[in-house]
């Protein structure tokens, strides 16, 4: 069976040209660049979250807040068995499964990603989900039941961490992108792909 070396798979051509049909080959496919951006953002958030949690556990005594800005902003160490705002505290294992589902979903969407804005939003959500998953799997009291380390307190807002901030900011960005009709593949809603 012989194969024509000049023939190419339609998907390969699209990846190389990023949908450009002029015949010019892009130096690096946009889809791969967006995926790289997604994982770079997620990795940065994960590393920052892990580092700040390690520092918080090592330097903040439980029950003894460190005041940074008057009585508005402080660092206080809290072990959170629940979700945001300490909801569902008896459902830690379920929250872990939901977070795993979020990670899988983001990675799957990342395969079709061409929009840098979606890469940013999904990268924030992925990095935050992974940061809190590390706590769920490796912190006490045990696997899939670990308590998340929270340490930033601002006014009346519940105590949070870098991962929580990234998830919230990423989710807000994704909602805005959806509302303005920008799709993960870079097209606008109603445009021909």
> Could you give the residue numbers annotated as active site?
150, 164
Do the beta carbons of residue 18 and residue 27 sit within 8 Å?
Answer: no
Do the beta carbons of residue 148 and residue 161 sit within 8 Å?
Answer: yes
> Alpha helix (H) ranges present in 10-161?
10-17, 30-59, 92-110, 116-138
Report the C-alpha gap between 58 and 49 in whole angstroms.
14
- The three-state secondary structure class of 68 is strand
For residue 146, the 8-state DSSP code is P
């Amino acid at each position: 069976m012989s194969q024509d070396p000049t023939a190419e798979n339609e998907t390969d051509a699209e990846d190389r040209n990023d949908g450009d049909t002029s015949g010019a080959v892009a130096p690096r496919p946009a889809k791969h660049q967006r995926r790289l951006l997604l994982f770079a953002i997620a990795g940065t958030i994960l590393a920052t979250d892990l580092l700040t949690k390690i520092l918080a556990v090592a330097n903040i005594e439980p029950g003894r807040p460190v005041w940074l800005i008057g009585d508005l902003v402080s660092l206080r160490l809290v072990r959170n068995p629940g979700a945001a705002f300490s909801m569902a505290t008896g459902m830690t294992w379920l929250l872990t499964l939901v977070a795993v589902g979020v990670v899988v979903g983001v990675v799957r969407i990342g395969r079709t990603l061409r929009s840098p804005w979606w890469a940013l939003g999904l990268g924030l959500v992925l990095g935050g989900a992974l940061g809190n998953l590390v706590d769920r799997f490796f912190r006490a009291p045990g696997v899939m039941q670990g308590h998340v380390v929270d340490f930033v307190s601002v006014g009346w807002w519940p105590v949070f961490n870098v991962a929580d901030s990234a998830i919230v900011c990423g989710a807000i960005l994704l909602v805005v992108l959806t509302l303005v009709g920008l799709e993960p593949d870079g097209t606008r809603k109603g445009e021909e792909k």
